[in-house]
Structure 1
């Protein structure tokens, strides 16, 4: 009977001899593991504070998209899967697959599934090979040039804050919105004494003037527009500029629900012979229409808008467009904020060797192109405040 009761006992005690070599080894290993974990967490915290997205920690966090997080949550919470965002819209090849490939990518920037990551930074021309041409024709053969700057030589490293500039807005509800992620991109003819294209940045004489000319031209055509003139140049790392402009765009989109065209206007980095065209006996700066690919669920709609604008440019100003390009680079986040709205397109107007007159002429031409686009969409011109009858 006593033996049967012993069999029914649900709990048994276990005595550990803390003085034994095995127990000491276990405790020491556990302590070392905790110490290593604490060191790793500390290193990651320091890198996040000091290095942003350039450090290993930044890469790790940057490689985790919102869609990836949604996918993980949906695996554990069935209700979230039915109401959460559609994760199937995101491309499957944005980041390296497999644990070993991810570790290799984090430590070396090499994706074993993408050979371009091995030679992209070493072979001239490979850095822009991830641009996909969306407009057929041999005349569209030169992709937009990358704004490359060596490590430690950021163009905005010594930039000083400028005076506050008021945003430019017409009286009616805007249909077109213009902003500038790289707002201080400038032009050498407007910068006496500067001849290096890598130094073509200026707090006042810059690409923002093209945006203002476009909005003013739209006003003359009877269409309301809005231009934000926030100086992102002094906010930090040049490579994170799209992170800085993103909150501005989100705020504007929330406050203006009827925007039909959203332009992030930049300057290209190519030579003058590539970025200039003679039209009607006058020189115009060329236009690149760029779509953010990568992790962008609106990519196809962005492409359609860009392609329609390109066709209008070719019809109204033959040769002014250098084509529609989509950035599909899988190594970095190449959405360019285009995931926020399907009507968004980057316009790269001219290059560092173009004059401000040529750039302004192109911006005014783009206002007429934009007006033609809006008319095709059924938006009739209106009489705006201050506009002559």
Structure 2
């Protein structure tokens, strides 16, 4: 009888190995939870969102990115022969290491010169002739002007209420009816224009309680309603409210915010909020001739301190694009403001469709401003009705499902 032996394989595991595995696993879990907690505790502007990725990408030249793609796919290099040479990485490395952009002197001077932070805005989309030397800036008027203690006499008022030349008919079936969907208001409601202020030559003194940017709102309302878009103009005297409450000019947006919120509460139809301003730049920077007629240039200002500013920026980009297509040179571009010297929000966190638009500068006339208001209404109506058409198609598709 054969003796049967059972052979087996034995694995010896040392206790130290188990401890090492357990320690490594514990360390890994601790690291995961720590990173997760860190990311969720960061302020919105520092979280890895699309906006932060976009901000990081702006530090890299577009041609350089294209070249890097070309190294992986040579088809790109064949399409652009001028990019066949290797890009210079030295300038990029220097910019990232020192945070100094040799093409923008503000990156160096802004840290050394007091008050230079006023110019620390960003050009998102540059219009014709726009650069960092003629960006719109915020500045408070003299105290006596704010309180209307030394208000200038008026001049050149003949024909002031004359409407813009063009009066296009309302497109068939395109109307909001009795619904007011656009809300126009004026945070700096006394910003005025020098041609109508007798004896005023200093842009800092171009303010008036009667003849001011609110008249631009009247024309824009008329032009929008000619195109079937119900519009409400709120001429609340924000400056008077500040004076009554003893608040300074820097609190203007805080005060106008109360006005806008009250309007939104009383009218649920409001979908677009437009804050109309006047830039302090002179005529050369704020005027353009289109088809032999003089227009006051427009500029869109977006508040970069608003966590959801990208949606407002998208609307501004679309309107700028339409203006460039139909009224070349009318738009100075889209500016992003989030520097310490600016409000940086501009009430744009109240709506994804909120805008701040600068109409012309201190030297523009209402004839020029009215043309610009008519042009803006033209492209805005095109954008609005196209958006309405898309929304209706989406709703119909949803109902079918």
Shorter-normalised TM-score: what interval?
0.5 to 0.7
In structure 1, the residue matched to 2:266 is 255
Give the CA deviation at 1:287. 0.2
1:213 corresponds, among 209, 214, 219, to: 219
- Find the counterpart in structure 2 of residue 356 from structure 1: 366
- Kindly state the Cα deviation for residue 116 of structure 1 after the two structures are TM-superposed: 7.4
Aligned equivalent of 2:17: none
1:17-60 CA-partner distances (Å, limit 9, x unpaired): xxxxxxxxxxxxxxxxxxxxxxxxxxxxxxxxxxxxxxxxxxxx
1:242 deviates by 0.3
Map 1:216-227 onto structure 2 (within 5 A). 216-227=222-233
Q: Distance in 1 between matches of 2:41 and 2:324?
A: 37
1:139 aligns with 2:129: yes
| Gap runs ≥5 in structure 1 | 1-85, 94-113, 162-169, 381-389
Aligned residue in 1 for 2:206: 200
User: CA, structure 1 residues 140+183, in 2 after alignment: closer, same or farther (shift >3 Å)?
Assistant: same
Aligned position for 1:121: 114
**What's the CA shift string for 1:66-86, capped at 9, x where partnerless?**
xxxxxxxxxxxxxxxxxxxx9
1:157 to 118, 142, 147: 147
User: 1:342 & 1:116 partners in 2: Cα distance?
Assistant: 34
Aligned mates of 2:348, 2:232 — CA distance in 1: 18
Whether 1:341 and 2:355 are equivalent positions in the alignment is no
**Deviation readout 1:171-202 (Å, 9 max, x if unpaired):** 71112111000001000111122222111111
Aligned pairs (5 A) from 1:1-389 = 90-92=44-46, 118-119=111-112, 121-122=114-115, 126-136=116-126, 139-142=129-132, 143-149=134-140, 153=143, 155-158=145-148, 172-234=178-240, 235=242, 236-294=247-305, 296-330=306-340, 333-378=343-388
Could you tell me how far apart the structure 1 residues matched to 2:199 and 2:127 are?
Answer: 39
1:196-235 per-residue CA deviation (whole Å, 9 max, x = no partner) reads 2111111111000111100111111111011100001121
The structural deviation recorded for 1:92 is 4.4
Q: Report the CA distance between 1:259 and its aligned residue.
A: 3.0
Return the index of the structure with the highest Cα Rg.
2
1:257 and 1:199, CA in 2 relative to 1: closer, same or farther beyond 3 A?
A: same
CA, structure 1 residues 117+140, in 2 after alignment: closer, same or farther (shift >3 Å)?
A: closer
Are the structure 2 counterparts of residues 92 and 323 from structure 1 closer, same or farther at C-alpha, using a change threshold of 3 Å?
Answer: same
User: How many residue pairs are counted as aligned between the two chains?
Assistant: 262
- TM score, norm. by length of structure 2: 0.60
Question: Matches of 1:321 and 1:87 in 2, distance apart?
Answer: 40
Please give the alpha-carbon distance, in whole angstroms, between the structure 1 residues aligned to 2:224 and 2:367: 18
Q: Which runs of 5+ in 2 are unaligned?
A: 1-39, 48-106, 152-175, 391-401
TM-score of the aligned structures, taking structure 1 as reference length: 0.61
Q: 1:352 to 1:340 in 2, by over 3 A?
A: same
Q: Is the 8 A contact 1:298 1:341 kept in 2?
A: no
Distance 1:271 1:233 in 2: 24
**1:286 to 1:304, Cα distance in 2 relative to 1, 3 A:** same
